[in-house]
Amino acid sequence: MERILNLLKKPAIQYSLVIAFLALVGGAGWAFYQTQVPPPQPIQFPHNIHVGLQIQCLYCHPGAQRQASAGLPTEQKCWACHGQLKKYSDPANPVPLEKWPPELQKLAGYVQRGEAIKWVPVYIVPDFVHFNHRPHIAAGLNCEKCHGDMSKKTVATIEQTVNMGWCLACHQARTANDPVKRTKLIECGTCHY
Ligand code: HEC
Ligand code: HEC
Ligand code: HEC
Ligand code: HEC
Ligand code: HEC
């Protein structure tokens, strides 16, 4: 793969290939999509409830603003709230654990065992693609644009086929009046290096 990608850094080869690849992307994208059916999660985490409570995306996914990966919350971050929610843990009137909703019992189990929750990835790009959240958030794109309306979901699901055509279509649309930036954003080496 690396040798092919090095060869592809030659501009003349790139132009003819862009066309060929865009034609292929439909098919490749479908194969890729099939690996992206939402997987079962260890805890059926309800985004809708938490987003409805006005908890910010960046509170649980702080990396999105400053680095490549957005990050997923640890059981400790969940417990910072859930260990104290009055509804269940009021010191004067605690609700016994076996009366908690089942998904919260699971959470308490992870915390008691000191075991990390192994969230299963949903959005994935292959290793030979470099996606970085930071420039996207800095350019003013909101999470919803790529991940859909999380206030209507429990666990995350894939909103659209995450393939090269999707990346390039937006990069082209967003640089209509800026040819220099466009060249940079559709250059193979911007995403493959
Ligand atoms: C331009 C499209 C785009 C935007 C905008 C975007 N994301 Fe993502 N997000 C992606 C892609 C693509 C991946 C897969 C990345 C990978 O596999 O390396 C991803 C992965 C993730 C993941 C899981 C993997 C990780 O990075 O830890 C989380 C969580 C996430 N995004 C949250 C957010 C949040 C929160 C925001 C808003 C602050 C946001 N994203 C904005 C495209 C986007
Ligand atoms: C900032 C505080 C906060 C954080 C952080 C938080 N939650 Fe919650 N969560 C709440 C509140 C408040 C509710 C609503 C409680 C209720 O009314 O029963 C809730 C509800 C839930 C429910 C639904 C319970 C039911 O009634 O069925 C689950 C499951 C849950 N949270 C799991 C988690 C997990 C897992 C994490 C970590 C990834 C987490 N929460 C992080 C505050 C938080
Ligand atoms: C209270 C914590 C919390 C909040 C607030 C929260 N999330 Fe999440 N998010 C999670 C957890 C836990 C997961 C892992 C389970 C899953 O995939 O749904 C997750 C998963 C995701 C994923 C899929 C990650 C992957 O593996 O590819 C995306 C995308 C995402 N969240 C976006 C958002 C956006 C956008 C918001 C704000 C509108 C948001 N989240 C708010 C806790 C949170
Ligand atoms: C919805 C629009 C949109 C989508 C989808 C999108 N991007 Fe972007 N991307 C942008 C914008 C806007 C910028 C910032 C341009 C600027 O510098 O102003 C950017 C910048 C980047 C950069 C940084 C370039 C640099 O060095 O400055 C990389 C790398 C990148 N995107 C990769 C990807 C990949 C990989 C995907 C698909 C998985 C993707 N993008 C999907 C809009 C998008
Ligand atoms: C904006 C980011 C971006 C740019 C620019 C980009 N690619 Fe990609 N490329 C991706 C993503 C994301 C994938 C993985 C998803 C897929 O297979 O469509 C990918 C996949 C590929 C693959 C593997 C296809 C397969 O069947 O799995 C090849 C080969 C490739 N790109 C070549 C190129 C070439 C040649 C260029 C320059 C003309 C280029 N890419 C420019 C994002 C980009």
Contacts 24+ apart (CB under 8 A), 40-46: 40/120, 41/119, 41/120, 41/155, 42/106, 42/117, 42/118, 42/119, 42/120, 43/103, 43/106, 43/107, 43/110, 43/117, 44/103, 44/154, 44/155, 45/103, 45/154, 45/155, 46/103, 46/154
Q: Is the CB of 153 under 6 A from ligand 4?
A: no
Q: Is 25 in the pocket of ligand 4 (CB under 6 A)?
A: no
CB distance 65 to 58 below 8 Å: yes
Calculate how far, in angstroms, residue 6's C-alpha sits from the geometric centre of ligand 1: 27
In this structure, which ligand is nearest to the CA of 61? 1
User: What angle is formed at CA 184 by the lines to CA 179 and CA 186, rounded to 5 degrees?
Assistant: 95
Ligand 5 atom nearest the C-alpha of 8 is: 35
- Blockwise average pLDDT, block size 10, the chain, 193 residues: 56 50 46 57 97 97 96 97 90 90 96 96 94 97 95 91 94 95 96 95
Predicted confidence (pLDDT) per residue in 62-100, tens digit: 999 999 999 999 999 999 999 999 888 888 888 999 999
The two tokens of residue 125 are 């790009």
Which pLDDT belongs to residue 27? 44
